Every structure is written in structure tokens, then in C-alpha cells.
Structure 1
């Protein structure tokens, strides 16, 4: 029987030739910054402010709920810079956790990424892209079925609507493009991210220039600190008005929306072997990219407040706050412009997720913690098999549907899964930040080309924020939080079974 915690270097000499590290360093500083920003900017910034507004009930709290996670992410980016400089190789968070704690914890992070977080995000962006395209092409609709739902149980079904078909097409297209070499993925990512950032700047500029006269949001600044009565109960009888403790807890709970918009900020660390001078480029790109996006997110929410009265932000149709704001500024065409911008944004984010996720699974396979075939590079020096496995799983998540027998309505399986893993996402990011502190103690002589400024307070700032958000999730949203624990426990079972069966592949250190 293979010991699951044995030293990964013991069988390094047995690495098959096809698993060798022949990745090409094609990504420079500008491309890295665009990759960080492009991984973060999806559809969230254009929509989640509505739900956050319903929870918080005031303009001041809404803006604060975007500033606070922005500062958390900046602290995390500064800390990750030290880890990336110490271990400038593909895998990112998985590598840091594995090196600081154990292969088990590294595997659990990678397991959660593959089963839900990364694959679910790919599916979510693919479906979001298709739905926004449906604004212009009505035949692309959730109710226009190519294959009507086939029930596989009382609560689940498989279907293929035109929205799902376009989503599947996007997943396959980007897997194919990225299989042609990192240069192609890099060029596409930089181009789409530039368009995305220009779209956001255009929305902000138009809102700040015209919103004061065309919009009616001036009331938001006259009553900046006042709370409106229309707020959401997180538990029966519990709102931000219930008590000061409830206010603090609900504020932390609301950060799940803004933090979701910031998510994927560390994806650049997953592709370190394809970054030029990674020990310098990755830390700089992390800080620059997260700072840029954080500023744009704050300006976007300021733009919403300039144009829309707060109750309209709370009640925006389908939570499309950006579309509601643009309809005020450019009646008749505003929502269409936003739909086009979001479609482009989600496609760019989908490309970044596709590229980075495959590299994580490639590294895991080289460590004997994923399917062995995923350790192979194709003729273009990219992990083609890892791209294929990732695409297949994301497509399965796209086709599977949830079903409510009472309402007779279908939902998206990936939506439930993503809501279930918010707690796990925060936990593993916190664990990676704690790796900075642990490695300072266990490997004090390891070269550190870059050290996090303000140590240990900067890493601990993120840890404190993560703990607060996780506690709020467990208290106010237990139904969608405890499944995170079950998903991670399932990963621990898989890891144990892998050890019982002698592992999946030779386990190199590189």
C-alpha cells in the first residue's frame, strides 16, 4: 500500500517523458496584469449589487461592502506575491498549500477546484454568455429545447436548450483554441480584457458625466447614511435593523456577492511556468491587477448610485443593475449596450478560467494526484488532455439540471454547486495565506526574492476577514454552507482510496 503522505520526491526519477516540463514562457508583465484582471471581471459586477443592496439597505453600506473585500484581496495579493516568488511554478494555491501543509490538503484544494469551483465557474460563464447573446438572438433561449428534459431522478434532469448548446460550444471552442498554444490564449485574453476594462470605464464615464442631470440618484448622497426599509430577512425576523450584531453579521454575509465578483484573482499563479521572470512578474501583476479591478468596481457602484435611486438598485429587473442604469442614460439602447459588454466580458473571463484550470490539473497529475493522462503536453507544449478533461466535466455540469416538482421549474445544477462552495473557497484561500506564516517558520532559509510588506499583519488581515465571512455564512446561510464541508470530505475519501490503490501515477517534484 502506498503511504498517501510520502515524500513527493521519492519517485521523481520515474516521471514519464511526456510529463516533462516543456511549457513555453510566453506571458509578459502586461499579459499577466490583463490575465489577473480578466480572470476577475465577469458578470458579477453588473448584477450582484442588487442583492447586496437588498441585504444592506443603504448607499454607504453598499459602497463599504465593495471597499472592504477589495482591501482583503489586495492583502491576499501581497501575501501571494511572496509565495509565487518562492515557488514560481505551475499550480498556484495547490502548490503553496501542499508545500506548507501536506499533499492531502493540496489535493483537497485541487479536488474542490476541479469538481465545483473552476469547472462550475466555467459553466456559469458559458451559460451567462449564451443568455446575454440571447438578448440579440431570441432563438437562443432557456426554453427553446433541442432535447427536452429527460428526468434521471425526481430532482434532476438532463436537457439541451439552445442556451446550453451555445454554452457547450463556447467551452469546446476555447478548449480547442487554448490547445493550440499559450500564445493564442494569451493574445485572446489581453484583447478581451482590454475591451472589458474599456467597457467598464465607458459605463463609469457616461454615468458620472450625464448621471447627475439625467439620473435621480442625487438622493442617495443626500441620505448617504440612512437605511431604506426595503431589506431582505436573512432569517425569520432578522435584518440589518434587528441589532448591531445582526448588522455586522449581515454586512459580512453581503460580502459573498462582492467577493464573488473579485474571485479568481489568483489564477495567474496557476500558470507560473508560462510567465516570463515569474518571481517578479507574478507579484507585480497580482497587486496591479487586483488594485485596478478594485478601483473600477468601486467606480461602477458609485456610477449606479449617481444614476439610480437606491430602491431601484434593490429592485433592478433580474438584478441587472448596470442595464437599469444605462436605460436611464441611453433609453432604448442602454440595456443592449450593457448586454453586449457583459457578453464580451464573460467570454474573456471564460478564456482565463479555461487556460488556468487546465494547468492546475496538469501539475496535480505530475504529482500523482490526478488522472495520469493529464500530465501529458501536446505538440504545442500545452496540457491538451487536461483541457479536454476539464471541458468534458464542465459540459456535464452544463447539461445537468435541477428540478422542483412543486413549481415544475428547472434550475441549473452548477448554480447550486457554486453557492455550496463559497465557504470552501474562503477556507482554502485562507489556508494558502497561512502558508506564508507557516513557511516563514518551517523553511526560514528558503530564498524569498519578494517578501510581503507589513508581515505578519497584512496576511492576518485577510485571515481575519475570511474567518468573519465564513462565520456569517454558517450562521445566516447554513443550507448553502455546510455542503462545502461535505464536498471537501468527499475529496478526503477519494484521496484515501487513491492511497489504498497505490496512487494514480509516478509522483515527481517538478
Structure 2
């Protein structure tokens, strides 16, 4: 494996992180394999656990009409996410490149569809997702400073969201190892927050204060309209979004087989937590409270945690911050792969310019 001397010196100056060297043949760069199994699990689970399960999971209940059917929808969404992730894992075995669906479309359908996909991803899909998550982060981060206000100043919200985006940009540009560490820390915080909600519901049930009557007629008033069932699945699948993020960084996995293990660990874990958290909500909150709440986790915290209810907004802040970081981490690798394939620009010129079309890009360490 040939190494470029200038590249090696650059690595030493930057602490040896990020870029490992040029690919065989001197074309393009390859990244270090620094992501272990638990980092892959943290990336997948951390991207899935966002603000959805904390803020408005009652959407599934509203469309399904009964708690039993809503829990079945949550389980079905987990099953669909598992099937999709396993299909992606098989694609990753056939096309062992970072970039996720971009790499697969490029390999199967060719350059033009892949080019259209990457620019839709870069200009529309990923920026919109990061902006939405960052605004959720800003809303919960700012709320403690405006007690009693029903609506926050938009300038403040947008300023905090922009600061979140800028901070995560700097972190991901500075060090991939630091970004991975942040993914791991936020993922642990998210899982711990969900466990607090699960244990709190169990304590309420043990004290005999739970709304157990909700489960006596668990499937009463279940809808049979296909449109409402489809909307319920749409609401649930939003909370599972992010199951494909590890496919964006396949080339950085220490062991490519860890992708399958990450899928088998992360998705059942997240599905189980979502089911238990929804059961806790149903035990603590009455049907009217569930339907009228804009943030079920906050309503739950006010009733169960008392003076410690501030932990719930903090959990949402950490959750949204970690999700946005995971989007940056995975999305940057898609741009890297696209530039390597000649579909992105570098230093103001096309990466593939001068070599007869879509040749591989010779990227600089910067």
C-alpha cells in the first residue's frame, strides 16, 4: 500500500486523524478505519432517536384510534426499518463503498442518476433535515430562558439553530474522532433518557397510579381505513429515520461485518425502547392529555419527575444535537465519495475536469 510522503507529514501535523492516505494508483483518498462496532451502533441508534419520540408520538395513536393498534404500528415500523437496513447491508457487501444509496445507484444505474441523486441530497434533502432538527434543538434550548411564553422569538430560535449548525460544522471539519466521540456520548444520553421514562412508567404502575383502563380496551375504536393506517406508519417511520447512516461510512468501519451486527443490535434496541416509552406515556397520561399535548415527554415529566422535570427538555436538546451531528457525519462522507467519483466540485472546479469526464478526483488533504 503506497503512501504519499506529503500526506504522511500532513497526518502527523493533524494528529493522524481523518485521511489515511491515497488509494492504490495515487487516485483519490481513503479514510482511516476508525469506527468500531459500538460506534456504529451509536451512530445508527443515535440518528434514529431524535425529537419524534419525545415530542409528538401521539400522531400514531390519533390515526390508529386505539393504543393497542398504535403499539402494533410502532412494532411494524421497527420491522420495516430492520428489513430496509438488512437490504442495505447486503448492498454494502456487493458494493463495499461509503456513500449509501448514492454509491449503489452509481454502481447499478450509472453516472447520470447518481449525479442527480447527489445534488438532490446535497442541495435539498440533507440541509432541510439538519435545519429542521436544529430548530427543534433551538426550541428546547431556548424555552428555559422564556418561562411562560407560548411562542419564542423567531430571531432567537434561528440564531441558536444557526449556532448549532456552525458548531457541528466545525467539529466535523476539525476531527472525525471528535465527531465520533460526540455521537457516542449523545447516543448514551438518549438511551439513558428513554430508560428514565420507561422506569418512571414502571414506578407509576407499581404505585397503582397508572391509567390501566387504557389497556383493558386496547383495540377499541381501531380504524380500518387504509389512508389513516398509512399516515400512522408515516408518523412512526419518521422516528426511525437514520437507520441507513452507517452505510454512508462503510469504508471507515474497522470490520465491514460490523455493519450487520450494528443493524441487529441498534434497531431491535430502538424498537424496544420506543414500545416501552409509549406504554409509559399511556400509563401516566390520560387520553385527553395525550391528544392535547404538543410534547408528550414534557407532559409526562411534569407529572412524574416533579422538580426534576427539566431533565426531559435537556434530553430533547441532547437528542436533537446528537441527531444533527450524525447527519453531518454521514452526509459529509457522501460528499467525499461524490467528489472522489467526479460528481462534486473541488477548489471551484469540477473534480473530474481535465481527465475526460467522470474520472476519480485527486482530493487534497484539506
Structure 1 counterpart SS, 2:236: helix
Match of 1:123 among 110, 121, 131: 131
Is residue 2:36 matched to residue 1:28? Answer: yes
Runs of 4+ aligned structure 1 residues displaced above 6 Å come to 139-142, 501-505
Match of 2:313 among 334, 339, 342: 339
CA offset digits 1:396-427 (Å, max 9, x no partner)? xxxxxxxxxxxxxxxxxxxxxxxxxxxxxxxx
What is the rounded CA distance, in whole Å, between the counterparts of 1:86 and 1:58 in structure 2?
42
Map of 2:113 onto structure 1: 105
Match of 1:219 among 192, 213, 220: 213
Is residue 2:307 matched to residue 1:329? Answer: no
Structure 1: tracts of 5 or more residues without a match: 1-14, 146-160, 229-239, 377-497
What is the rounded CA distance, in whole Å, between the counterparts of 1:298 and 1:117 in structure 2?
28
What is the rounded CA distance, in whole Å, between the counterparts of 1:503 and 1:209 in structure 2?
67
Structure 2: tracts of 5 or more residues without a match: 1-22
Map of 2:11 onto structure 1: none
Over 3 Å counting, the alpha-carbon distance change for 1:143 and 1:205 in structure 2 is closer
Contact 1:369 1:504 in 2 (8 A): no
Is residue 2:287 matched to residue 1:310? Answer: yes
Give the drift of 1:352.
0.6
Q: How does 1:10-21 map to 2 (within 5 A)?
A: 20-21=28-29
Match of 1:114 among 119, 122, 145: 122
Over 3 Å counting, the alpha-carbon distance change for 1:306 and 1:19 in structure 2 is farther
Is residue 2:172 matched to residue 1:172? Answer: no
What is the rounded CA distance, in whole Å, between the counterparts of 2:192 and 2:301 in structure 1?
15
Match of 1:297 among 274, 297, 303: 274
Give the drift of 1:68.
0.9
Query: TM-score if structure 1 supplies the norm length?
Result: 0.61
Superposed CA RMSD in Å reads: 3.0
Contact 1:73 1:290 in 2 (8 A): yes
Structure 2 counterpart SS, 1:225: coil
Q: How does 1:248-263 map to 2 (within 5 A)?
A: 248-263=226-241
Over 3 Å counting, the alpha-carbon distance change for 1:91 and 1:332 in structure 2 is same
Match of 1:133 among 110, 129, 141: 141
Contact 1:130 1:164 in 2 (8 A): yes
Is residue 2:344 matched to residue 1:370? Answer: yes
Is residue 2:57 matched to residue 1:49? Answer: yes
Over 3 Å counting, the alpha-carbon distance change for 1:167 and 1:292 in structure 2 is same
Map of 2:67 onto structure 1: 59
Over 3 Å counting, the alpha-carbon distance change for 1:503 and 1:356 in structure 2 is farther
Contact 1:365 1:505 in 2 (8 A): no
Give the drift of 1:65.
1.6
Q: How does 1:99-498 map to 2 (within 5 A)?
A: 99-138=107-146, 143-144=152-153, 161-211=155-205, 213=207, 215-227=209-221, 240=223, 244=224, 247-278=225-256, 280-316=257-293, 318=294, 320-334=295-309, 336-373=310-347
What is the rounded CA distance, in whole Å, between the counterparts of 2:290 and 2:181 in structure 1?
36
Contact 1:66 1:297 in 2 (8 A): yes
Contact 2:27 2:361 in 1 (8 A): no
Map of 2:80 onto structure 1: 72
Contact 1:84 1:283 in 2 (8 A): no
Contact 1:368 1:504 in 2 (8 A): no
Query: TM-score if structure 2 supplies the norm length?
Result: 0.84
Give the drift of 1:344.
0.8
Give the drift of 1:506.
4.2
What is the rounded CA distance, in whole Å, between the counterparts of 1:306 and 1:212 in structure 2?
11
